[in-house]
Structure 1
Amino acid sequence: MAAAPLRIAVVGCGAMGSVYAARLAGAGHDVLVVDAWADHVQAIARDGLALSGPDGDRTAQVRAFPAPPAEPVDLVVLAVKAADVVSAAAGLAPLLGDDTVVLTIQNGLGSAEEVARVLGAGRLAVGIASGFGASLTGPGRVHHNAMKALRFGAYDGISGGGLPADDVERIAAAWRAGGFDAAAVGDIAAMQWEKLICNVAYSAPCALTGLTVGEVMDHPEMGPISRAAATEAWETARALDIGIVVPDPVVHVRDFGAQMPAAKPSALLDHEAGRRSEIAVINGAIPRESAKVGRTAPVNATLTGLVRTREATF
């Protein structure tokens, strides 16, 4: 028997949030979106949310708002950038009922902890989007060129909390209905680190050079730096006793990159648009986490410093 449709609010309707909203609405869920970009909100409210990609084009009918309406939902998908999670979480009260689950999906490490400090751990789930590539092509229009997997876990998988496993599975089922490869997992922290190892290999190197993932992977100068960043992250995860299943970090990141050689990481897309990236929670997370166990991470620290120096001119 199919799961009952959910009332879902996607807060942060950028490229990834738009893909989530369109496909969830297409599965029959009652979806509303919240975003600060007025033209985007107006286009969605007027014409629907247009999604294009390898599996065809569609237009999803979703309601759109510039701020959260007073309308409690079953699930809030917090899809804003990492720098905006605290303010976004603080504004969610109109959407929250007693049983509302909040799913936070950001790059890197640290966002879930920030959201938990605002909302508590009991209603919080953490999502990981792997192998995705998406871009807004205009107000109310989004294109995705890759879509691999989504994994969800209770925040207590990271630091002790209280969201029941049945609630996490209900989230995964809702996303599977939208055509996503989605699953609930027990150790979401390990999966975060497995993704982070890949992200540090490409985020800063691509942002600094303008190269795609595939170009960085095989570049004579940036390739060794990329691999060193990944190895440093892998060593940090092992020192922290994170339960990653990655025998060889270089093989891990090469396999990841081979699936989307033409992709541009979000950090590079941000730089192309003149925006500051989420580098502080991606490459910048490695030196912070390393310090917790008395280690250093000079490769990722240097890459982070170079990116942030460049971004200071934006």
Structure 2
Amino acid sequence: MGSLFAGRLAHEDHDVSLIEVSGAMIEAIGEEGLRMIGRFGEQTYRLPVGPADRYTDAFELLIVFTKGMHTTSAMEAARHAIGPDTWALTVQNGIGNVEAIEAFVARDRIIMGMTNWPSTLIEPGLINIPGEGEIKIWAANGQTSENLEAISSALDEAGLNCKLDPGVEVAIWEKLAFNSALNSLAAVTGLTVGEMSDRQESRAIVFTIVDEVVTVARAKGLAVDVDHIRVSVEHAFTNHRQHKPSMLQDRLVGRRMEINTITGAVSKTGAALGIATPVTTTFANLLTIVDGEASRV
């Protein structure tokens, strides 16, 4: 996702640099450029790339695309590149990322949002954009500003279909419901999206988790649309049958899974509000056990 945003912004002549920790990615982009195929055709962008300590000057905007458990460490690594006028944008999955970023950037310079753009890493330095998406963003402090509007315009002009949405927290929680259901079940069972769809038992679990997340969101005063989420799930069941959700991909290669900002965050928020989330909490606990076992291997 970071490569998608970087490439499209560079396409519109914005000065873009990549902060990367993967040696393979740094080497590939350094030698061949950032390569993109798919929705926007075949493009190559020659961009600066390296770990955070490669850069010395403060950035105008940091776009954070790490998984939630890496947000704090990523911001800590880039602390020297954050100046008094630096803004930060997060359209990461889950919740809690704004609070993590706020330890480094004042809330009045943080933009939060969600995106459903698809982006697949084919090999180091090469990404495929298989379809269309959109971005919804708003200021974390709830206040509009010239910078917020400028950043939105830059993303929209880059072809990323960006909209300003004061109610973006609803969209964030709707995506959280989708991810909590599909990612959790996939990571525990090993099922692809299509395999979930084909079994009555797995469909029941998916929609139970969706309902529990919706209940928590509504207890927070958010007007989430359960029917909209169900339509998104059914679309995935029909059109992304072979897809392995990201938590399953992480488990299969022994990476840590994004639990605490997705399924675990729903369980924790529900408990704080006095809302029971028995199925979601059970999956959060199972994922935590599996994640801990994997870390010992």
SS of alignment partner, residue 76 of structure 1: strand
Identity %: 29
SS of alignment partner, residue 52 of structure 2: coil
SS of alignment partner, residue 275 of structure 2: coil
Match status 1:122 vs 2:102: no
Q: Distance in 1 between matches of 2:102 and 2:240?
A: 33
- Contact 2:178–2:210 (CA under 8 A) maintained in structure 1: yes
- For normalisation by structure 2, the TM-score amounts to 0.90
Match status 1:79 vs 2:65: yes
Name the structure 2 match of 1:196. Answer: 176
Name the structure 2 match of 1:184. Answer: 164
Match status 1:65 vs 2:65: no
Name the structure 1 match of 2:2. Answer: 17
Match status 1:166 vs 2:152: no
Name the structure 1 match of 2:281. Answer: 301
Name the structure 2 match of 1:138. Answer: 123
AA aligned to 1:93 is R
Q: CA deviation at 1:247?
A: 4.7
Match status 1:52 vs 2:37: yes
AA aligned to 1:61 is R
What count of residue pairs does the alignment treat as equivalent? 293
SS of alignment partner, residue 179 of structure 1: helix
Structure 1 unpaired stretches of 5+: 1-15
Deviations 1:116-173 (CA, angstroms, capped at 9, x unpaired): 13322121111312252422x322222233441111111114xxxx6x4332221121
Q: Distance in 2 between matches of 1:150 and 1:215?
A: 29
Match status 1:220 vs 2:200: yes
AA aligned to 1:154 is A
AA aligned to 1:294 is G
Structure 2 unpaired stretches of 5+: none
Q: Distance in 2 between matches of 1:217 and 1:111?
A: 30
* Distance of aligned partners of 1:256 and 1:170 in 2 relative to their CA distance in 1, 3 Å threshold: farther
Q: CA deviation at 1:237?
A: 0.9
Q: CA deviation at 1:210?
A: 2.5
Q: Distance in 2 between matches of 1:283 and 1:107?
A: 11
Q: How does 1:279-298 map to 2 (within 5 A)?
A: 279-298=259-278
Q: Distance in 1 between matches of 2:154 and 2:46?
A: 17
Q: Distance in 1 between matches of 2:292 and 2:265?
A: 19
SS of alignment partner, residue 178 of structure 1: helix
Q: Distance in 2 between matches of 1:65 and 1:131?
A: 24
Higher helix proportion, which one?
2
Q: Distance in 2 between matches of 1:272 and 1:302?
A: 21
AA aligned to 2:110 is L
Q: Distance in 2 between matches of 1:248 and 1:145?
A: 22
Deviations 1:91-116 (CA, angstroms, capped at 9, x unpaired): 33332333321112321111111111
Q: CA deviation at 1:42?
A: 2.4
CA RMSD of aligned residues (A): 2.1
Name the structure 1 match of 2:258. Answer: 278
- Contact 2:87–2:105 (CA under 8 A) maintained in structure 1: no
Q: CA deviation at 1:225?
A: 0.4
Q: Distance in 1 between matches of 2:218 and 2:236?
A: 20
Q: Distance in 2 between matches of 1:56 and 1:249?
A: 30
Match status 1:103 vs 2:89: yes
SS of alignment partner, residue 84 of structure 2: strand
- Contact 2:180–2:210 (CA under 8 A) maintained in structure 1: yes
Match status 1:175 vs 2:155: yes
